Amino acid sequence: MTDTVVKTDLEIGRKSRLSPEVRRGLLGLGLGNTLEWYDWMVFGLLSAFIGPKFFPSQDPVAATLSALAVFAVGFAFRPLGGIMLGTLADRIGRRRVMLWSIMMMAGTTLIIALCPTYDQIGAAAGVILLVCRIIQGISTGVEAPLSTAHAVELVPEGREGFVAGIISFYVNAGILLASLVSYLSSLMLGGAVMADWGWRVPFVVGAAFGFVVVYLRRTLPETMKPEELADNSAKKVWGGVRKHWLSVLAITFVVGAAQAYNYAWNTGLPTAARTGFKEDATAVFALTTVLGVVLVVGSLIISKVADGKSMSKWFLITRALAIPSVFLMLMYVKPGIAGFAAVLLGGSVVLVLNMTLYNVVTSSLMPKGCRGAGTALGYGLGVALFGGTASYLLVWLQSMNASWIFPVYVAVLSALSIVFYLLARKKNGIFIGR
């Protein structure tokens, strides 16, 4: 028995040497996450500029809320993307769906960058923006959950912690890049130009980057074997999803709580700072860029520390820490860039812990034959119900002088995610890691 344990530990140590094919695959999958989060965060960060350009309103806050409503609509279509593209991934393979997903994101980002405004074409501008966000919602409904599942299937067993950290690194690189490009654009062009046409620059950057990722994904390795695909009809895939319905419910809350926390910190708080408290936009973008650096560095550290460790145990500890830490946002109740910085950076450690682990944890709850559909459906529901509405809800509650409700809401979601995860693990077990 001792020899077996020693052998297993030595094998895990050797697994640090990933093949060039696997490394290229992780690069293509990871950079797709970078693009997804870059595009998604840029829209949220620039919503105060986008709203008045696409929606008629004399009130800047109302126009911003209109843009955030479109932001939320994109989330509402994520479950549809999970159902459609997740099922295809289980039936025809991961590689082709990953390629389609990134093509949809890159193309619509380019359209948003070039789209005429309300003053130029009237209500059609808002319709075009809405359609682009719907297509992006369908794309991202499968991008994050399937790319993580694909990555976990690529690497040797026991490297789930490494995958969690490295995929999170690419995700956080997208968040950092969004903040950095927005900050540099604002710094070089100024607030007036940003409000006029400068907001388009970050979208142009995103579109160009997207077509680079499309090129890289053409050679992704396929992890579904021919015999697995040959016998995997849509009926069988969804039979597996129904059988593991409790796992899908757990995934919904695991993802929803993490995303509500994330979007509150990365888009809700910055938007509230600029629109509600009239903080300087350049200073806000500078601080969100610092937050991005913390997330990028933190995810790399976690990839080293968590490699070979129990993802289940790590998830339970870090999710429990999210419950008290979310109440830090109650410190930001009046104008002042120092107060904003304290809240934003004070919650960053717990944020990076939660955002690093949750996708690998959700992948572990579904068997391989229905993993694409099950994780994408749960992810889409969680993000649509809880993540996509977080920014809008936070800004609205602040305008109603009821800011205290939001941290209570996120704390309850975090507690429920722990409960449902434990129930799903007990009933169905876990299929990746330990």
The token duo for 20 is: 């060039």
Q: How many CB atoms lie within 10 A of CB 354?
A: 24
The closest of 389, 24, 385, 38 to 202, measured between CA atoms, is 38
* Most confident listed range (11-25, 283-297, 356-370): 356-370
Report the alpha-carbon distance of residue 138 to residue 132 in Å, rounded.
Answer: 10
Query: Which pLDDT score, from 0 to 100, does residue 63 have?
Result: 64
Average pLDDT over residues 8-17: 45
Greater confidence, 385 or 205?
Answer: 205
The closest of 295, 208, 216 to 23, measured between CA atoms, is 216
The closest of 63, 40, 38, 49 to 199, measured between CA atoms, is 49
Identify the CATH number of the domain defined by range 21-220+232-426.
Answer: 1.20.1250.20
Average pLDDT, the chain: 84
Report the alpha-carbon distance of residue 175 to residue 40 in Å, rounded.
Answer: 9
Greater confidence, 264 or 256?
Answer: 256
- Return the domain boundaries, the chain: 21-220+232-426
| pLDDT value at 64 more than 90 | no
Report the alpha-carbon distance of residue 219 to residue 238 in Å, rounded.
Answer: 29
Average pLDDT over residues 75-89: 86
| pLDDT value at 5 more than 60 | no
User: Which burial class, exposed, middle or buried, applies to 77 when counting CB atoms under 10 A from its CB (0-12, 13-18, 19+)?
Assistant: buried
Query: Which pLDDT score, from 0 to 100, does residue 286 have?
Result: 85
| pLDDT value at 189 more than 50 | yes
| pLDDT value at 266 more than 90 | no
Q: How many CB atoms lie within 10 A of CB 349?
A: 15
Query: Which pLDDT score, from 0 to 100, does residue 58 have?
Result: 63
Query: Which pLDDT score, from 0 to 100, does residue 1 have?
Result: 36
Average pLDDT over residues 194-222: 90
* Most confident listed range (3-17, 243-257, 297-311): 243-257
Contact 105, 97 (CB under 8 A): no
pLDDT band at 412 (very low <50, low <70, confident <90, very high): very high
Helix (H) and strand (E) counts for the chain? 22, 0
| pLDDT value at 401 more than 90 | no
Query: Which pLDDT score, from 0 to 100, does residue 246 have?
Result: 96
